[in-house]
Structure 1
């Protein structure tokens, strides 16, 4: 803290305050004292971000303090994190901070690690291995979004999601939508057996949970049976209104490693990229890593290295290593799509099949932002 900041704090804080950074404004601090101290510290040009810690005493009104912090944060514009210690007793304050988009943690050391990660990310030098996306989104991607918005939808179906990703050069398996049994059979013939049928829905995103996936269908009768099975399963588990037909795609027989790629927008930090082990067990394995987007190739390689699944990609149990540079280029490209399309709220490829002959998005989901 600068000399002027210390003098301003001295002028109104009780004598025993810490007189240094961190500024301990004492346990009896009320919302007004928090607000004034935070305003003064935020105006100090010598700091770039703020962490507000509340350790409640008997007289502390944690909700009032949270409201005061929100008001100052909106004025200052500096990145701000909070740590509201006290368990359920400070839940009211945490909810106020959350509604304002201020990340709040149970303990200050967690918040400090977040600051350290953000600082490390922003301090990385520029590298030559960039993966640029044209600022102008491809016309096909814009048409896909316009069609969904015209229908009042924010959820793209699987075929639309793959169309959009493919327009940016993401390798996807060809996927066709079918509104009837006969159309599903026609698509299967055109693609070649064996095929996969998956639920097409404007509302449901977890197709497996709804009974909406049938694999390795080798003939027309199997396709018709699969259509009926998916329709009936969705009707029983979710309701007939959630069934919108199916998608048809070739069954990919190549063995490989199933990965997940994700991108979303954090209210405080902006676009965030995710990489990890994918497939239907993604939530069980919990092997993913996050970083701020966009990524270049070197940053993508570092993101991949933070996951356990990297060991499988580098070659395990006698298998040959995969092309890690090509994978990093793909991850970097994927992370940059939301910059070209601000209409996107979140997107996911799961699974991305990583095999010796390349990488292919087998399933994809994109959600658009409301009222952009």
Structure 2
């Protein structure tokens, strides 16, 4: 099955508003703190019997002053995202377009009656190719088969711990199957590869899987929260893994060649098949339970993040959405700003909004104040005014 997707052009597929009520059980929310980057969610397993892989910020676990925990929990549970998205892509200053992306606002309708997912359900992905466009184009074309059909993606109407674990296992398998498929397809050069970031929404659950340097950023009440970690060879954890597997980092590049440490394809760097390689296709996962404080998600290739921080992108997108609440125009605004900042790469952005609110989001204008006019009086006029006032007083 070939997905409906945007292919290297500003036009977009239709977006659908979905309003359904998911059920969730045994889900815990835990604070995660990061000091040097915008807040980021990561995975922690408390025990084999307490493996709810959902994380949230301090606002989710601290009751507001004067509000009971029961009232707060009830408001959180009742929240259901109403999904609208838009996307925009631009070749930028490059000679060739190597980005691909896909966005599906209603996954259940797209997959048909044979699939059962918690509602609402949505699927998004960005694929940033290198060494030619073949790998990214191949993954985009076959992404629905890799991610839902070949791996028997778990089907249920509820989000619980079992579903979370099965979904993560399925996504991991999908990335690895796609990686092997690139090696087997003769239409894809062994020197062609692609990064991959996917975002799935099931009810209130947002699950991001990433291999490479695309990035997903959540806006929570104006604050940027990283939902993925850029896989660059210079980052300490990635550099240590690379070196333990026999690779090296030269001037920020893996083996002096590649600027990312995780990617699909690039089989000229992974051969012979089955042998340990410093370049891997294994994704990292980040999950969060969405609340009414979560406004939108930005998913972008590194052409955006080379010239903007996560917070800068969120602030710009928030201003844009307040003007028109159009995620398509918002995605275009982000791309245009990256071009203004002289990015050197292709550009692809998806903006996913979680609210159906279409009111005017502009900041209220300050109240108008009446200006007092000053005038001067001549000595003669002052004398006449004094006589008039004295006459009035004597009467």
TM-score band by shorter chain is under 0.3
| TM-score under structure 2 length normalisation | 0.24
| TM-score under structure 1 length normalisation | 0.26
Larger Rg: 2
Q: Which has the higher helix share?
A: 1
